[in-house]
Chain A
Amino acid sequence: MSDAVLETRGLYKAYGPRTVISDMNISLPAGKIIGLLGPNGCGKTTLIKLAAGILTPTDGEILVCGRQPDEVTRSFVSYLPERTYLSGRMTARSAVDYFSDFYADFDSSRAHSMMAHLGVDPDAKLKTLSKGTKEKLQLILVMSRAARLYLLDEPIGGVDPAAREYILRTIISNYAENSTVLISTHLISDIETVLDDFLFMRSGGIVMQSSVDGAREKYGKSIDELFREVYRC
């Protein structure tokens, strides 16, 4: 059995006639922060959604710690979508209670501490909060779990640069040694410093997979510069 946290074998996903992921074969090891990078529409979100189990593969398979996404993998996968999935009627406090009820690995005190640091009012209704604050709250909830795999889809896109720095520090400090963090983002220069490995995606496939240090050494460029070169229009 493979030691990979996330593995795909001949993964294929199509929406009707449109192919989004095509014959993807990847294997992501444990204990790494991995950047999932690529232009819009290249299949980053689809790959993350497949791993989270909210999309069904058209063909091939996707395995999380050797299992197809199910209720067991959901207990150790912490997923942050690129949209607000909490009900507007909830308060931040009730959202924390909700996560605490369902996830055995959720740390409420850590969540409350992060909320205090990021200035999220625990008693405000979510519908009254700004988009950025809601994104911060969702990230707090997701990072307050001691998961084996974190799937973060555009985690810092909507937050201000100061909060961004805190969030990245939080990601680094919160994930355990045997956990893997898969981050999809366009803000490469912001996250480059925290990444161990990266994947470049194009048209539903992987065009480059490497360690950040290895790529810097090989190409003599930062990942941001390499990205601009690979995806030059």
Chain B
Amino acid sequence: MLGKLLKYDMRSMRRYVLPLVLATPVVAILGSLALRFTLAVLISEPNSPLSNVITMTASVFIAVSVIAVAASPVIAVICIMMHFYRSLYTDEGYLTFTLPLKTHQILDSKIISGFFWGIISSLSFLVSGLIFIIFGTTTDTLVNKEIIDTLFSNSPGAVFGIPTPIYGTALCFNAISSELFLIVTLSLSVTIGSIVSRKHKILSSVAVYYILNTVSSLLSGIVSFILVLTASNGSDGATLAYMTMATPMVSIIFNLGFSAAAYTACCYLMKNRLNLD
């Protein structure tokens, strides 16, 4: 049964998120082409009136494309949450909550599909960002190799002697756990918002998310601060390396811990406090 609901949820989210995921790198390619073109014009004809007009126009296009790329994961998360809200707490909820499924199966399906499309949209954003950086910042070659080398050699992991694969894996897990935390916390916020308010459910959900996010940031900030204090006895390379690795690890533990707590709370509320208008 979970598989069946998951199939429908995946399809439903795909309708909104997939076009966004595909459009984002295309916008990034167009933006980076405009960036290359602008750089080329500036190098070849730095002060001509025509180059000024071209660079002004291209700059506007570049700015718009950068904003569009930066906004894409946010829009994707909004789409995912609107699907969650619509299918559970509007008229469609009358169907969803009367399917012969356990409450946790309904929640699992929404979270798995939301998490999947959230990761896909984040990857699309990452690829788009790299397109800008690697293809848009050079005019001589196809890719800017210098900037790739700089990125790798100046990463905190590399600076403090942590092998890149280990540091990269830690960052990847941190990003994945952050996405999970985001989806589960938003699901809990929408659930609380829909239960406590009968007229302004979305507004209430946003307020609840703000509160939950502030509390979790505060708690993880306090733990990180304590960690820094305890580690700051020494300033040698080993201590700095330890802190560099410890930061994403603490974040992962917090993300997973908060996600588990938010999931449990969300499941409890959906099962015991459900009141569809």
Does the CB pair A102–B94 fall under 8 Å? Answer: no
Nearest chain A CB to B238 CB, angstrom units: 54
Which B residues lie within 8 Å of A87 (CB)?
12, 92
Does the CB pair A102–B99 fall under 8 Å? Answer: yes
Which B residues lie within 8 Å of A74 (CB)?
98-101
In the bound complex, CA of A53 to CA of B274 (Å): 8
Could you say which of B8, B15, B93, B272 contacts A54, with CB atoms under 8 Å apart?
B93
In the bound complex, CA of A49 to CA of B274 (Å): 11
Does the CB pair B95–A86 fall under 8 Å? Answer: yes
Which B residues lie within 8 Å of A98 (CB)?
8
Does the CB pair B91–A84 fall under 8 Å? Answer: yes
Interface string of A65-83 (1 = CB under 8 A from B): 0000011101101010101
User: Cβ of B200 < 8 Å from any Cβ of A?
Assistant: no
In the bound complex, CA of A85 to CA of B102 (Å): 19
In the bound complex, CA of A105 to CA of B93 (Å): 21
User: Cβ of B1 < 8 Å from any Cβ of A?
Assistant: yes
Nearest chain B CB to A57 CB, angstrom units: 10
Question: How many positions in chain B have a CB within 8 Å of any CB in the partner chain?
Answer: 25
User: Cβ of B276 < 8 Å from any Cβ of A?
Assistant: yes
Contact A55-B276, Cβ < 8 Å, known A74-B99, A75-B100, A77-B98? yes
Does the CB pair B100–A102 fall under 8 Å? Answer: yes
Nearest chain A CB to B17 CB, angstrom units: 15
User: Cβ of B4 < 8 Å from any Cβ of A?
Assistant: yes
Nearest chain B CB to A113 CB, angstrom units: 22
User: What is the count of residue pairs linking A and B with beta-carbon distances less than 8 angstroms?
Assistant: 62
In the bound complex, CA of A70 to CA of B99 (Å): 10
Which A residues lie within 8 Å of B92 (CB)?
85-87
Which A residues lie within 8 Å of B217 (CB)?
none
In the bound complex, CA of A67 to CA of B15 (Å): 38
User: Cβ of A52 < 8 Å from any Cβ of B?
Assistant: yes
Does the CB pair B95–A85 fall under 8 Å? Answer: yes
Does the CB pair A49–B276 fall under 8 Å? Answer: yes
In the bound complex, CA of A86 to CA of B105 (Å): 20
Does the CB pair B272–A85 fall under 8 Å? Answer: no
B93 (CB) vs chain A CBs: closest residue: A54
Which A residues lie within 8 Å of B93 (CB)?
54, 85
**Can you list 22 A-B contacts (CB < 8 A)?**
A15-B198, A49-B276, A52-B98, A53-B97, A54-B94, A54-B98, A54-B275, A55-B276, A71-B102, A71-B103, A74-B98, A74-B99, A75-B100, A79-B98, A81-B94, A83-B94, A85-B91, A85-B95, A86-B92, A98-B8, A101-B4, A102-B101
